[in-house]
Amino acid sequence: MEERLLKVRMQNFTYQNAVKIVFGKDSIAQLPELLPQNLKIMITYGGGSIKKNGVYDQVVKALKGFDFVEFGGIEANPQFETCMKAVEIIKKENVSFLLAVGGGSVLDGTKFIAAAVEYKGDAWDIPTGKVTVETALPLASIMTLPATGSEMNGNSVISRKEIGEKRAFASEFVYPKFSILDPVTTFSLPKRQTVNGIVDTFVHVCEQYMTYDVNTPLQDRQAEAILHTVIEEAPKVLKDPNDYDARANIMWSATHGLNLAISCGVVMDWSTHMIGHELTAAFGLDHGKSLAVIMPSVFRYKADKKGDKLVQYANRIWGITEGSKEEIIEKAVVKTVEFFESIGMKTKLSDYGIEVKDCKNIPAVFEKRGVVLGEHSDIKPQDVDKIIAMSA
């Protein structure tokens, strides 16, 4: 009997998420009450957009009287080398609290920095999973890009360009102490980042939802709540980037997309992310784009094992009820692709100038790491090859 046909129970789980979320217009002004006293703070940020959109000024104003240093230049797909420069400054300046101001990349980089400062060995051991993080500097965030959910979890993804690697780690020690989310800070996001973030949120939910049923109807509907909201609110944000309500709903959806409440007791996938990370490592493809390219192919390739959930998704999210099971599933995948395309997200490798033949080394990466993907651990290197070919 196939595994998916067995009667399976909700998995036992432990859930704890102590991040304090401070949400809404003008919430950056609450920073002084949230920060610990008498600590030297490092503000980390990215390429400088916070200096153009007024966020930097708000932060500096709120930090009056606090002792802080700055570390800018954390790039999209935060680089190991850049983060290690911050580690040096922290040690020299006796910094004891990190405040990430920016998007998921800045925060992910800051989480890695917080753990790397406290680790005696080669810090690349952390994202490669050679060691488990045992302590980290305390950190917090002012999140200005709804996407990764990093503001309410202990996850981080770090890249190392010179060896073409992009690796994820998770630790209870790198949850932000607090995260400030002011939707107004997202008004000035370029369309490209807005769309990448929307797709990232959508795919985060699907990674936790589109597997097989283990009797978790509440978690399923909580996941569907996020998908419905993203589908409804995304066009509003694109039509009017200054629509506070729509920006707020997209922002809160992104946080719930990966605060891991919807993953309680369920079986997760994450193969789209793992393959997507390799596309980013190899070609510099934006994270959101890599997901939009791969997820439809994963759905189609694993339609047998994911079939029941895909039908539920077709029915509840897209209102599709007519046709054979195979037809319903295909219609749901097409609807997903159409949604991505409707907000300006291209969904084929060829749209980004990437040819399948250029991806030939990717399956070998998983082979080398001894990693098998998917909720059934049945997506082997040769399957990764096929999924990439389907995404041409």
Binding site residues, a copy of itself, CB under 8 A: 9-27, 178, 215-219, 221-222, 224-226, 228-229, 232-233, 244-245, 248-249, 252-253, 256, 261, 264-265
Q: How far is the CB of 166 from a copy of itself (least distance, A)?
A: 30
**Longest alpha-carbon distance in the chain:** 66
Q: What are phi and psi of 240, to 5 degrees?
A: -135, 95
Q: How far is the CB of 85 from a copy of itself (least distance, A)?
A: 33
Give the DSSP H/E element, type plus range, for residue 157.
strand 155-160
Q: Write out the DSSP string of 247-293.
A: HHHHHHHHHHHTSSSTTTT-----HHHHHHHHHHHHH---HHHHHHH
- Structure-token pair, residue 389: 């070919």
Cβ contacts of residue 61 below 8 Å, gap of 6+?
Answer: none
- Of 2 and 26, the one with the shorter C-beta distance to a copy of itself is 26
- Of 265 and 381, the one with the shorter C-beta distance to a copy of itself is 265
Task: For residues 277 and 255, give the distance between their C-alpha atoms in angstroms, rounded to a whole number.
Answer: 21
- Of 166 and 309, the one with the shorter C-beta distance to a copy of itself is 309
Specify the pairing of strand 97-102 against strand 139-143. Answer: parallel
Short-list 151, 161, 381, CA closest to 271: 381
- Of 115 and 250, the one with the shorter C-beta distance to a copy of itself is 250
Q: How far is the CB of 171 from a copy of itself (least distance, A)?
A: 16
Angle at 197 between CA 214 and CA 289, to 5 degrees: 90
Q: How far is the CB of 213 from a copy of itself (least distance, A)?
A: 10
Q: How far is the CB of 185 from a copy of itself (least distance, A)?
A: 14
Would you call 183 helix, strand, or coil by DSSP? helix
Radius of gyration for the alpha carbons in the chain, expressed in angstroms and rounded: 21
- Of 8 and 372, the one with the shorter C-beta distance to a copy of itself is 8
Q: How far is the CB of 287 from a copy of itself (least distance, A)?
A: 22
Q: How far is the CB of 149 from a copy of itself (least distance, A)?
A: 13
- Structure-token pair, residue 242: 């200054």
Measured from the Cβ of residue 218, the count of other Cβ atoms closer than 10 Å reads 11
Task: For residues 45 and 142, give the distance between their C-alpha atoms in angstroms, rounded to a whole number.
Answer: 10
* Secondary structure in 3-state letters for 103-127: CHHHHHHHHHHHHHHCCCCCHHHCC
Give the CA distances from residue 40 to residues 68, 73, 91, 191, 294, in Å, rounded to whole numbers and listed in that order.
6, 20, 11, 36, 43
Specify the pairing of strand 178-181 against strand 68-71. Answer: unpaired
Asked if residue 164 lies in contact with residue 277, where contact means CB atoms within 8 angstroms, the answer is no
- Of 18 and 334, the one with the shorter C-beta distance to a copy of itself is 18
- Of 22 and 41, the one with the shorter C-beta distance to a copy of itself is 22
Q: How far is the CB of 212 from a copy of itself (least distance, A)?
A: 14
Q: How far is the CB of 5 from a copy of itself (least distance, A)?
A: 16
Task: For residues 130 and 138, give the distance between their C-alpha atoms in angstroms, rounded to a whole number.
Answer: 22
Q: How far is the CB of 86 from a copy of itself (least distance, A)?
A: 27
Q: How far is the CB of 220 from a copy of itself (least distance, A)?
A: 8
- Of 316 and 331, the one with the shorter C-beta distance to a copy of itself is 316
Residues in the chain: 392
